[in-house]
Amino acid sequence: MSAVTDLKTRIQRALAAAFGEDFAQTDPMIAATNDPKYGDYQVNVAMSLSKKLGKPPRQIAQDLMDNLDLGDTFEAPEIAGPGFINLRYTAQYLGQRLQTMSKADRNHDRLGIPNVTNPKKVIVDFSSPNIAKEMHVGHLRSTIIGDCIARVLEFQGHDVLRLNHVGDWGTQFGMLITYLKEVAPEALTTANAIDLGDLVAFYKKAKARFDEDEAFQLTAREEVVRLQNGNEDTLKAWRLLCEQSRKEFQVIYDLLDIQVNERGESFYNPYLADVIKDLKTLGLSVEDQGAQCVFLDGFTNREGQPLPLMVQKSDGGFNYATTDLAAIRYRLNEDKAQRVIYVTDSGQANHFEQVFQVARKAKWIPETVEITHVPFGLVQGEDGKKLKTRSGDTVRLRDLLDESIEKFGAIHDARLVAEERSETEEFKSNVARIAGLGAVKYADLSQNRTSSYIFSYDKMLADKGNTAPYMLYVYARVQSISRRGEIDFATLETPVQLQEPSELALAKHLLQMEAAIGAVADELLPNRLCQYLFELSQKFNTFYDACPVLKAEDEGLRSSRLMLCDLTARCVKLGLNLLGIEVLERM
RNA sequence: GGAUCCUUAGCUCAGUGGAUAGAGCAACCGCCUUCUAAGCGGUCGGUCACAGGUUCGAAUCCUGUAGGGUCCGCCA
């Protein structure tokens, strides 16, 4: 990136020299080209200045070029089309950059990519399953996307607090505890009296009762209020239920290698009353049909009247809007967060917009703090509808992950047979686990987050296309070269020679790693990194096909190509790790 | 009714102001006595939903229309 910054300065100097000091701050409009035949960068400023200067764009481009000193980074520029200026890196410059990249901090390998200059305290709120329910496919995206965003921001040097805002509070517990008192009271006083599967079944029945039985509904609501007021028996029952769920969640987090700190909705209970008090004092919250409501700008109901955000129910209970408001205050005032990122499905977009609006109206969010909802689409079945099992039930996350591991294991076994290879059980299960889980993660992250995607084991486990197995294969391929040639990449010390088109293309792509990571951090779109890695893998395979490495014509070229191989593998490893995916030395 | 996201190749999707709109899959044609062919090269394939507008330049920004997803007061 420093090359582009430098280029910008040089062009601005040329603009000033050619057209006067007024143009010293004009944006040169530098962009990466979309076709190698136009070089590496195109400067588009000539077209935009045409009207202002009253000259044809190509003339402007020529005047600019006449005043431009490019140093030794780029070849002589060319004017093309309506007035594009095309710039191409010199092979020598690319070689130097690659050597710098190769030598940098091999031990904790970040390929010489520096930390950001202004690290921030960032909270990433993700995963957020509900107590007394199993994690299902609906939690997959939040967990994977949130983890990836956290990894990328941590890599950049930000102080990231990962928070699991678990649903451990509210009406659901009123329902569940009320129901359990009737049918399984021992579950409320004894640890592990029933297992989680049963708990889920009880939850469904409790919900059904709640929906149809008014008396039950009332009792359940009273139980919620008891919980929120700290009644001992109710609290004890609640703690038991949470502990049981927590163990189950941890199994999944361990499998997926996810670190996240539990801080559930209940954590904010002591702060809820103050939220209402302060909203009332500010005159924002008013009573409406017995409930406390804040009326919103830009939201109306069917009759065109302003829509409220309800912050306290008519029975005195608080709801998730109250909790989210209390969480905002706590995170900004106590955690001192400068950026807060919420990773939830796009169905909650309205809710967050409303909550943020209320918090802003109350002046709880300083201008310097960035608070963002990062929405994502649904996981759909092959029929385009919400993913379900054949019997129509929600897909348990555990089952989904196990199935992916098992399916990849079967594919891999078949390949071993075809290649007449014999491997240990340990080797096989490790490959299946890493590729199977990697495939699920990669399939999710490689989609544009905002759209829904169709879940397909066949596609995500395929060895062709933009998949985890394809990327893992590239890494393993490079390691195979080092084993075959008995190469220690760490000791490579050589000038890089770039002659073949496939070498140049690979070299240029390797140098864009930092920009790719930066794009994810800025846009919070992990698919940018996936796209980068996929293109890197393709360029590597093209290079590998065209250029002999171990059998290169001379020692210098051999070392140079080995360095390209090594850098590719390190980029793939770092990239996959930022996506939460491990690599395999052999597969 | 409102809010919001979306509509790009047969299928699944990239691409938020630049040149002739890209990739994977599928289909078809080639490439293994040579470092892992889990690979590579090539062919075929598009009125970027539609209509206006802004701009030197629009899949991209604005307005409208049609179609679809999701959400909308006492669940979270």
Distance CA A224, CA A555 (A): 75
Determine the distance between A529 (CA) and B11 (C1') in angstroms: 24
Give the residues across from A339 on adjacent strands.
Answer: A122, A370
The residue among A66, A89, A112 that closes a domain is A89
pLDDT in tens, A151-206: 999 999 999 999 999 999 877 888 888 888 888 888 888 887 777 777 888 888 88
Structure confidence at residue A61 (pLDDT): 95
- Nearest nt (C1') to A480 (CA)? B36
Phi, psi for A452 (deg, rounded to 5):
-75, 155
Per-residue pLDDT for A356 more than 90? yes
Burial of A367 (0-12, 13-18, 19+ CB in 10 A): exposed
Determine the distance between A489 (CA) and B62 (C1') in angstroms: 54
Amino acid letter, A243: E
- Nearest nt (C1') to A57 (CA)? B56
Determine the distance between A512 (CA) and B18 (C1') in angstroms: 21
Enclosing domain of residue A492: 434-578
Structure confidence at residue A361 (pLDDT): 92
| Model ipTM over 0.85 | yes
Please spell the DSSP secondary structure of A416-431, one letter per residue: HHHTT----HHHHHHH
Dihedral sign of CA atoms A500, A505, A508, A511 in order = negative
The residue among A327, A356, A376 that closes a domain is A376
Distance CA A522, CA A70 (A): 29
Determine the distance between A447 (CA) and B50 (C1') in angstroms: 27
In a 3-state reduction of DSSP, which class is residue A395? coil
Amino acid letter, A38: Y
Question: Using an 8 Å Cβ cutoff, are A496 and A98 in contact?
Answer: yes
Per-residue pLDDT for A303 more than 80? no
Mean pLDDT of A452-472: 91
Judgement on whether residues A75 and A129 belong to the same structural domain of the protein: no
The pair of structure tokens assigned to A177 is: 């505890």
CA atoms within 13 A on the CB side of A504: 13
Per-residue pLDDT for A265 more than 70? yes
- Closest residue by Cα to the C1' atom of nucleotide B39? A541
Determine the distance between A120 (CA) and B75 (C1') in angstroms: 35
pLDDT in tens, A512-539: 999 999 999 999 999 999 999 999 999 9
Mean pLDDT of A240-250: 90
Determine the distance between A429 (CA) and B68 (C1') in angstroms: 42
CB count within 10 Å of CB A586 equals 12
Structure confidence at residue A244 (pLDDT): 86
In a 3-state reduction of DSSP, which class is residue A275? helix
Q: Pick the range with the lowest mean pLDDT from A31-40, A271-280, A327-336, A567-576.
A: A31-40
- Closest residue by Cα to the C1' atom of nucleotide B71? A347
E-only strand ranges, A390-431: none
Per-residue pLDDT for A431 more than 70? yes
Judgement on whether residues A70 and A139 belong to the same structural domain of the protein: no
DSSP code at position A74: B
Distance CA A480, CA A462 (A): 21
Judgement on whether residues A370 and A506 belong to the same structural domain of the protein: no
Distance CA A443, CA A156 (A): 24
Judgement on whether residues A557 and A469 belong to the same structural domain of the protein: yes
The residue among A343, A359, A376 that closes a domain is A376
Total structural domains within chain A = 3
- Nearest nt (C1') to A39 (CA)? B19
Structure confidence at residue A91 (pLDDT): 92
> b/e per residue, A508-530, with b = 16+ CB within 10 A?
bbbbbbbebbbbbbeebbbbbbb
Determine the distance between A476 (CA) and B36 (C1') in angstroms: 9
Q: Is residue A22 situated within a structural domain?
A: yes
Determine the distance between A341 (CA) and B8 (C1') in angstroms: 30
Instruction: Give the CATH number for residue A469.
Output: 1.10.730.10
Determine the distance between A356 (CA) and B72 (C1') in angstroms: 17
Residues in chain A: 587
Per-residue pLDDT for A504 more than 90? yes
Judgement on whether residues A26 and A130 belong to the same structural domain of the protein: no
Judgement on whether residues A85 and A138 belong to the same structural domain of the protein: no
Judgement on whether residues A75 and A145 belong to the same structural domain of the protein: no
Q: Is residue A284 situated within a structural domain?
A: no
Please spell the DSSP secondary structure of A506-557, one letter per residue: HHHHHTTHHHHHHHHHHH--THHHHHHHHHHHHHHHHHHHHS-STT-SSHHH
Q: Is residue A560 situated within a structural domain?
A: yes
Question: Using an 8 Å Cβ cutoff, are A274 and A312 in contact?
Answer: no
Q: Pick the range with the lowest mean pLDDT from A211-215, A241-245, A384-388.
A: A384-388
Strand B bases near protein CB (under 7 Å) are 1-6, 12-16, 18-19, 22-26, 34-41, 55-57, 69-76
Judgement on whether residues A145 and A7 belong to the same structural domain of the protein: no
- Closest residue by Cα to the C1' atom of nucleotide B56? A47
* Cα torsion through A409, A410, A411, A415, rounded to 10: 100
pLDDT in tens, A55-100: 999 999 999 999 999 888 999 999 998 999 999 999 999 999 999 9
Where residue A304 falls among pLDDT bands split at 50, 70, 90? low
End-to-end CA distance of chain A: 35
- Nearest nt (C1') to A305 (CA)? B2
Instruction: Give the CATH number for residue A367.
Output: 3.40.50.620
Q: Is residue A67 situated within a structural domain?
A: yes
Determine the distance between A11 (CA) and B70 (C1') in angstroms: 47
Percent of chain A topping pLDDT 70: 99
Q: What is the CA radius of gyration of chain A?
A: 29
Determine the distance between A313 (CA) and B72 (C1') in angstroms: 17
Per-residue pLDDT for A139 more than 80? yes
Judgement on whether residues A349 and A450 belong to the same structural domain of the protein: no
Phi, psi for A48 (deg, rounded to 5):
-75, -20
Question: Using an 8 Å Cβ cutoff, are A540 and A476 in contact?
Answer: no
Q: Is residue A179 situated within a structural domain?
A: yes
- Nearest nt (C1') to A306 (CA)? B2
Give the residues across from A220 on adjacent strands.
Answer: none
- Closest residue by Cα to the C1' atom of nucleotide B32? A545
Structure confidence at residue A198 (pLDDT): 79
Judgement on whether residues A165 and A45 belong to the same structural domain of the protein: no
- Nearest nt (C1') to A317 (CA)? B74
Q: Is residue A425 situated within a structural domain?
A: no
Determine the distance between A209 (CA) and B23 (C1') in angstroms: 51
- Closest residue by Cα to the C1' atom of nucleotide B1? A302
Where residue A302 falls among pLDDT bands split at 50, 70, 90? low
Per-residue pLDDT for A1 more than 60? no
Mean pLDDT of A31-46: 91
Judgement on whether residues A39 and A139 belong to the same structural domain of the protein: no
- Nearest nt (C1') to A384 (CA)? B69
Judgement on whether residues A49 and A126 belong to the same structural domain of the protein: no
- Nearest nt (C1') to A386 (CA)? B69
- Nearest nt (C1') to A309 (CA)? B73
Distance CA A174, CA A234 (A): 9
